[in-house]
Structure 1
């Protein structure tokens, strides 16, 4: 049974470039049938976080906090440089007063996504670093999101900080605390013991999260048809730029693990929060780039994973 689980896990990672986009398509086509399961997304996220956290101990987390420069650099790349690039691109394409510009910027200032942890783990990045950044960034989001929008557009955003903190506790803090505790109690042995069962289930939960979020967005896509020809390539370019900002912004470290981690951090954002903010606090036109970017970030994560594997193989070959 253990070998079956590990084999499934390996096959999933091998075919992930088809599985994730396929999950998005299925979510759209069967949205009316699966929408009732959308409230389960935070719990599925929580399990994915727990699976990642059981590979982290207190010493690893302390090591992350002893390198505050990496954390600060990631937040600057994610929430300062990326929004400025988004603002500039949007301004050139639509003009400063366009709601689409607000939407492009909003995608870059919502907090880092917890699903990033899974991609970082599969791509050889640092899970403790990614977990620490997600927790800290999410905790700061009630200040960062409304503050960023106000600074660039002088528009107030009334985020529900209480609900946001509640989601943060459920999705990240509690499962991370449980995972680290289990790691410490088992003296680091638990991950190897449970991996044949926990890892495949984590992959299935991740697929379910992608599918259910696509189903949640599906009812809003009808209003996008008039602007898709311009907005789809622009949103695709913006998400790709966010991945590149993290990768090239940390190139001077000459550390593959760090580049993988930060590039995913800057490229992927909190899906659920992005949808809530876009639909609740802005006009439908403003929500369009956010929805498109959220849809695009998962397929591009698959492409990014493939590129990173190629880059690391070529680097290893050159060094040998």
Structure 2
């Protein structure tokens, strides 16, 4: 992911004139990516999360309430309330948890069933969360077609998620293993295509961005880092490493491709710029976060024998 996503962006920018005609295919490509993710989640996973609603609710508060407030405040402070980049910063924090989060949680010792179920549930709630969040922050400045946005989110997220869960249940979980050799590579290709096509869509507006790079790029880096920190420190009182790993990745990584689709479809193209920058930033920061978690875990493990000697 560290190499694939920036590479896809570069390809999208370089071959923008050739790719523009295929941009309308993005929602359908994205729906397939969502479907392949949902094949690994059954009703049992969802029930396990629902039995502990406090953890899920707290994660969503950190990710979709506290983080958007910080994004809005930081954006207005640095760029001003009328800047379209502020919309992009807020949009980054209210879009659903990222699919690639599952990979990082698994590598870092978090709870894969928990993050998988939360991604599915958060995605299913996105038709309500995203319009509500946008209206809360920008109701006096921006008008959007909420009904159309909900319809698009149903197509991109909810329908393929429901279909994936039903297929998982109908085959008792066997379908993911059976189709994985074919679905996984195709899903990665679709993901690459989504990123490249969205990059091609915003390529004409890059000239406008050049004058703002010195402000927007550092701000996007800080905002993505803050989202990781919100999850990490927000779960520190729980004293549960597995939950802390899981929720810190959940709050730090978002479904960026969906964010770009929505930004380009409903707002100024410049609003998509912080979302695109976040694509390039959240994966490298995920690597750094993994390193920090690994070091912290090793330091705690090394401290236990010392305490026993004393």
Q: Which residue of 1 aligns with 2:138?
A: 149
1:303 alignment counterpart: 284
For 1:271 and 1:86, the matched residues in 2 are separated by 17
Q: Please report how far the alpha carbon of residue 57 of structure 1 lies from its aligned counterpart in structure 2 after TM superposition.
A: 0.9
What secondary structure sits across from 1:17 in the alignment? coil
Post-superposition shift, 1:37? 1.0
Q: Secondary structure, in 3 states, of the residue corresponding to 2:41? A: coil
Distance 1:139 1:262 in 2: 23
Q: How far off is 1:226 after superposition?
A: 1.9
Q: 2:273 aligns with which of 276, 292, 299?
A: 292
Does the 8 Å contact 1:146/1:156 carry over to 2? Answer: no
Q: Which residue of the other structure, out of 222, 226, 229, is the alignment partner of 2:214?
A: 229
CA distance change for structure 1 residues 229 and 165 in 2, over 3 Å: closer, same or farther? same
Indicate if the aligned counterparts of 2:224 and 2:282 stay in contact, CA closer than 8 A.
Answer: no
Provide closer, same or farther for how the CA distance between residues 262 and 41 of structure 1 changes in structure 2, counting only shifts above 3 A.
farther
Q: Partners of 1:101 and 1:173 in 2: how far apart? A: 28
On the 8 A contact 1:112/1:266 being kept in 2, the answer is no
Does the CA-based 8 Å contact 1:243-1:266 persist in structure 2?
yes
List alignment gaps of at least 5 residues for structure 1.
1-15, 280-286
After TM superposition, the structure 1 = structure 2 runs for residues 49-68 of structure 1, keeping only pairs within 5 Å, are 49-68=34-53
- Determine if the alignment matches structure 1 residue 209 to structure 2 residue 203: no
Counterpart in 2 of 1:118?
A: 100
Unaligned runs of 5+ in 2: 107-111, 303-310
Alignment partner, residue 275 of structure 1:
264
Distance in structure 2 (CA, Å) of the matches to 1:238 and 1:135: 25
Q: Does 1:191 align with 2:180?
A: no
Distance 1:265 1:45, change over 3 A: farther
CA distance in 1, matches of 2:206, 2:291: 35
CA 1:105/1:70 → structure 2, altered by over 3 Å: closer, same or farther?
same
1:81 aligns with 2:62: no
1:137 aligned to 109, 123, 126, which one? Answer: 126
Residue 182 (structure 1) aligned with residue 164 (structure 2): no
- Which of 162, 183, 191 pairs up with 2:147? 162
Distance 1:53 1:101, change over 3 A: closer
Q: CA deviation at 1:260?
A: 3.3
CA contact (8 A) 2:127 2:154 kept: no
Deviation per CA, 1:148-172, whole angstroms, max 9, x where unpaired?
A: 224xxxx243221222122222112
Alignment coverage as a number of residue pairs: 290
Tell me: CA distance 1:18–1:256, structure 2 relative to 1, closer, same or farther (3 Å).
same
- 1:266 deviates by 4.5
Superposition deviation, residue 294 in structure 1: 1.1
Deviation per residue, 1:266-295 (Å, 9 max, x gap): 54252211233331xxxxxxx64x333211
Cα pair 1:51 1:202 within 8 Å, conserved:
yes
- Residue 256 (structure 1) aligns with: 242
RMSD of aligned alpha carbons: 2.6
